[in-house]
A and B are shown apart, each in its own frame.
Chain A
Amino acid sequence: MEIVLKHLTKVFPGNPKKNIRDTTAVDNLNIKIKDGSLVGLLGPSGCGKSTTLYMIAGLKQPTDGEIWFGDEDVTNLAPEKRGIGLVFQNYALYPHMTVYDNVKFPLTNLNVVKNKTIQKVVDNNLIINLLENNLDEILNLIKSSLFKGKYSKSASARRIVFKYHVVTSLAEKIFKFGLQYSENPKELASSIVNKLKDENSQILDKFDKKGVRYNKKFEILDETGNPVKEKRHLTADEIDALVQETSRLVQINDYLERKPAELSGGQQQRVAIARALVKKPRVLLLDEPLSNLDARLRLQTREEIKRIQLNTGITTIFVTHDQEEAMSICDDIVVMSLGKEMQRNHPQEVYNNPNCLFVAKFLGTPPINVFPAHVEGTELFVGQDKLLANKALSGKKEVIVGIRPEGFIYNPKGEMEFDIKSIITQGRDMTILASHTSNPENQIKMIIDSSIQIPNGKVRFSIKSTKLFVFDKETEERIYLD
């Protein structure tokens, strides 16, 4: 589903009596999100990311502008009709329900149109198939559920469900056959199979007598030979199948019977994603889903989100204020500031080519080094050091130069001289803390290969031209060099 935001604006009205001014949380946002892509909304706290997301979800009404899903204008559509899945900033899992019930909840409200099927026969065939082909493994699964001298129905069912992707009620039925107690399970299984086959032919006989036609999948057909459709709620078995499928996808099978409070942050998050995904939404919205996790888990879960998104191909919007997170998993990022879009592109492209000082500063760790500079004619100076000459520069004016930490090359003949303060070696790289005479207060961070020997004191460096950006001092817009 392609999502298009047109002139999207949200103003929170102030209160003149209490002297609170209007807040423009989102200001004239125009974004097109490609079908099936993962887009990151990135910006500092309070820049309107959540507000944008909630407007897309329909929980907040835009002050102005339009939201389109594909060729449908959803601006005034109620949230429940938009077919979205939303993962809240703090998950908002229902604390009184088990994980299973949490994931199940959206499904109990769905109406679906499905082919009318002779379900009993389909189920019987599934059981017959399992008993004929996988009897030994099933027996092993059930027997491994032995606990305190008893076979556990729920544990057996869980294992069978996990292994054979069947619904829980069917797995429980197999348990209830009592194969695990039998002296001769093979014989018992074949007699059960025969009984089920009998039952099937009886059921089908009845349909035949009534003159009802059906196809190989046991879907009932109308006069023209097309499957008969019916509009209805999902059955308990269908719900169970979807819950099992989704929990397998996000790997929460083992916690289905627990309450959210009994889960770790990362597990809760996956439950929240499962709840958002289970109804197969057109769009998945994630509001800073990783902000509560520790560093390791954050790394792991963001990879998982990427994996799930790739597997499902759902158009996903991912809000974060952590640039590294956005850079690592998003197909596209939108950098926002004060409700406005600053730049939108592939993460690497935004990093390599920031179009303004804000974006340059916001992306990258450690952050970009900023120097006050001036232009004289076509030449660019930082303090006394002449950095470069370029035809795009002219006149005499103050500018700002940004240099990425990795943009410095140790070179005794380099164009800039720094005063080295300290050197921190971290494995492959080292971080150099230094200062420049143009502004001695300003701490400069450089990252260079740790195999290079750097003397102490005043050292000269040359600058990689692709890591150097010039910005207008007034507008903070990028001045592109030729």
Chain B
Amino acid sequence: MESKNNWKAWLYLAPVIILLAVFTFFPIINTFYVSFLKNYDYMRGTSDGFTFDNYLLVLTPVLKSGPGTMFEEVMMTALPNTMLITIITVPLSIIISLLIAIGLNSIKALKKVFQTIFFLPYVTNAIAVGMVFSVIFDANTGIFNAIFNTPLHTWIAPAFGVQGSTVNYWSALFALSFYIIWHSLPYKILIFLGGLQNIDKQYYEAAQIDAAPKWKTTLKVTVPLLSPQILYTLITSFIGAFKEYNSVIGLFGSEGGKFDKTTGPSSMKTMVYFIYEQIGKNQVQYACAAAVFLFLIIMVFTVIQFRVSKKRVHY
């Protein structure tokens, strides 16, 4: 394009750029800025100058240590929780949705019906579904205990009417992961189905002529040809998992759960949970420091994924 006409392109882009500047770029920069302010008051916009203390308080035991400090809340609870959720739910949800998508793609009858059924969770509210799950996983009356014959096993909250009943952290993590995976399947299935329908049928005919067994065709033909979609869901679900919050509220209520301390962190609070909590306590500077920290983690992970995938993704 002629460089003289560039202003036209900019003109067309202007609304988007202005919106992005106001609602994305400015908040990001401001978050960085606030994270270095001492005693920031967000109502008046005043502070007592620059400091690194916010980071030291949130991320290290240098200034304050011991139980109940922000360092413990982030490093002993929120970060491990977030990491575990990510490591468990991302690969599992991708593998399961891939298998379901491949299954759906290979059936002819009732395909549309199943597609709709599998898409339903996506259009239901996360917190509402979380409440339903907390009923399912209820220790006394939950259907989960009934089906798997584990009476009074506590998943989310202590059993009612049982003295000294506590919740094992790993049981809670299982219930949460179960819920997150279930809730994230439909979107991924949709993406994968779209990708699968674009794969030329002849590759499968060729593989059949070459006497490749089904599993091999899936592994050597389908998955590589679906790799752009897999990378896309991998990155978006990594980011989504790092930002997990709704599901914790939905399942464990606004306290984030209360677990047996000897089995792991005492609650299921996540990084974003911590950030919101600090905002609620009027400590925006700590929320900002934690947000910057989370931003950096996500960025590093995303860059690594792009690097690694460069060789494995076939566009």
Binding site for B on A (CB under 8 A): 57, 59, 79-81, 84-86, 88, 90, 92, 94-97, 105-106, 108-110, 275, 279
Size class of the contact patch on chain B: 10 to 19
Asked whether, in the complex, the Cβ of A105 is within 8 Å of the Cβ of B210, the reply is yes
The residue of chain A having its C-beta at the shortest distance from the C-beta of B213 within the complex is: A109
Interface residues of chain B: helix, strand, loop or mixed (majority): helix
B216 touches A109 (CB 8 A): yes
Instruction: Judge whether A92 and B211 touch: CB under 8 Å.
Output: no
**B206 to chain A: which residues have CB within 8 Å?**
86, 88, 92, 94, 275
Pick the interface stretch among B65-73, B197-205, B299-307: B197-205
Contacts between chains A and B (CB distance < 8 A), count: 58
Give the residue name and chain of the A residue nearest to B313 (CB).
A96
Can you give 20 A-B contacts (C-beta < 8 A)? A57-B209, A59-B205, A59-B209, A79-B205, A79-B208, A80-B208, A88-B206, A92-B205, A94-B206, A95-B225, A95-B314, A96-B224, A97-B220, A105-B210, A105-B212, A105-B220, A106-B209, A106-B211, A108-B216, A275-B206
Min distance, Cβ A278 to any Cβ of chain B, angstroms: 9
The reply to whether A80 and B314 contact each other, CB–CB distance below 8 Å, is no
CB A93 to nearest CB in B, in angstroms, measures 8
A58 to nearest B CB, angstroms? 8
Which B residues touch A96, using CB under 8 A?
Answer: 224-225, 227, 314
**Measured between alpha carbons, how far is A81 from B210 in the docked complex, in Å?**
9
User: A88 near B211 (CB under 8 angstroms)?
Assistant: no
Is chain A's interface secondary structure helix, strand, loop, or mixed overall?
mixed
Bound-complex Cα distance A110 to B212 (A): 9
Determine whether B221 belongs to the interface, using a CB cutoff of 8 Å to chain A. Answer: yes
Q: Is the CB of A88 within 8 A of B208?
A: no
Q: Is the CB of A92 within 8 A of B203?
A: yes
Distance, CA A448 to CA B211, complexed state (A):
54
Kindly report which residue of chain A lies nearest to residue B225, judged by CB atoms: A96
Shortest distance between the CB of B213 and any CB in chain A (Å): 7
Roughly how many angstroms separate A237 CA and B200 CA in the complex, as a whole number? Answer: 32
Residues of chain A lying within 8 A (CB to CB) of residue B207: 105
What are the residues of chain B within 8 A of A59 when measuring CB–CB? 205, 208-209
**In the bound complex, CA of A347 to CA of B216 (Å):** 43
Tell me, in angstroms, the Cα distance from A188 to B209 when the chains sit together.
48
Min Cβ gap A284→B in Å is: 11
B-chain residues with CB within 8 Å of residue A85 when the two chains form the complex: 209
B contact residues around A84 at 8 Å (CB): 209
Chain B residues within an 8 Å CB radius of A80: 208-212
Chain A residue nearest to B227 (CB atoms) is A96
Known contacts A94-B203, A96-B224, A96-B225: A86-B314 contact under CB 8 Å: no
Select from chain B the residue with minimum beta-carbon distance to A78: B208
Nearest-CB residue, chain A, relative to B314? A96
